[in-house]
Structures are given as structure tokens and as C-alpha cells.
Structure 1
Amino acid sequence: MIIKVLGSGCKRCLTLGDNVAAALGNLGMQAEIVKVTDYGEIAAHGVMSTPGLAIDDKVVSVGKVLSPAEIEPLLQAAR
């Protein structure tokens, strides 16, 4: 599983990345977390408001910093 945090690297984007790592830890799952900061690649995912979150190249959240509890069901559904 590859999880992409789509954003400029701002505090909100970093927090989302931390929350993804926490959710993975809570579920005992492992995945590669990739931080995408290139605006062209972000736009190619259809994300116009950051941060965005994509799991295996499927965008599951845009413009919101999800909590670990909000991320966990998304990860479980993508298994």
C-alpha cells in the first residue's frame, strides 16, 4: 500500500502525514508514506485544495486534516 500526502509541506500537510503514521501504528499496518509537494503532480490527482490524501492513487480526502481515527477506516477499506 502506498499512501500519498499531497501538499506544499505546510504545517497542515505535516500534521496529516503524522496522523497517517499514527493510524497505521494503531492498526498494526505498514505502508509507504510519500509526501508529494510538486504542484503539477498534486493537480494531476485532481486536488485543488491541500492537504490531500491518496491511498494507492485513489484520492480519499481533500482540504482537510483528518485525525488518526478518521484515517483508520480508510486504511482498512483499502486493504
Structure 2
Amino acid sequence: MKTVKVYGPGCKRCAATEDMVKDAAARLGIAVEVEKVSDPRAIAMAGVMSTPGISIDGKLVHAGGLPDQTKLEGWLSA
């Protein structure tokens, strides 16, 4: 199971990113545990300078704007 963290203050883009992660994982048949991180200090500590951000198994893979669907699927498959 992959651990995915979605970093953001709770805006619509952050919620959309969380939904994109869940949908992509379901399509790929990958089990994921998605955690939403909205604490500003935790976001900064993770190195996210622009939200939404995504980390997969502790590695920051995206920050700022909605992720590209193809890239998201690649990150989840890796």
C-alpha cells in the first residue's frame, strides 16, 4: 500500500487533487492511503512552497496547481 499525502489549506484545487489521486489509484488497481495535510507548519516542513502538493511514500513529487493525470499515474505506478 502506498502512502500519499496531499498538502494544502483546504481549497478547491486541494480537494480536486485528492480526488484525482483516489481516482487514479482505483483505475490502476493500486491500494493507497491518502492523508490530507492542512497544517501550514507541516506543509512548510515538507518543502511545499506552492499548494497543492503531493508526496508518495515520503517523496515530494508535485507542488503547485493540479497535477497532470499521466504524471500522477506514473508516480503511483513507480
Q: TM-score, normalised by structure 2?
A: 0.93
2:58 maps to amino acid? D
**Contact 1:4-1:34 at 8 Å conserved across structures:** yes
Looking at structure 1, the residues matched to 35 and 9 of structure 2 have their Cα atoms a distance apart, in angstroms, of 13
Consecutive unaligned residues of structure 1, counting only runs of 5 or more, are none
2:32 maps to amino acid? A
User: What's the CA shift for 1:74?
Assistant: 0.5
- Runs of 4 or more, structure 1, over 6 Å off, are none
Looking at structure 2, the residues matched to 37 and 18 of structure 1 have their Cα atoms a distance apart, in angstroms, of 16
| Change beyond 3 A, Cα 1:51–1:15 | same
2:33 maps to amino acid? E
**Contact 1:2-1:32 at 8 Å conserved across structures:** yes
**Contact 1:19-1:67 at 8 Å conserved across structures:** no
**Contact 1:23-1:72 at 8 Å conserved across structures:** yes
User: What's the CA shift for 1:64?
Assistant: 2.0
How many pairs are equivalent? 77
2:15 maps to amino acid? L
| Equivalent residue, structure 1, for 2:33 | 32
Name the % identity: 44
| Equivalent residue, structure 2, for 1:66 | 67
**Contact 1:51-1:65 at 8 Å conserved across structures:** yes
Looking at structure 1, the residues matched to 33 and 24 of structure 2 have their Cα atoms a distance apart, in angstroms, of 13
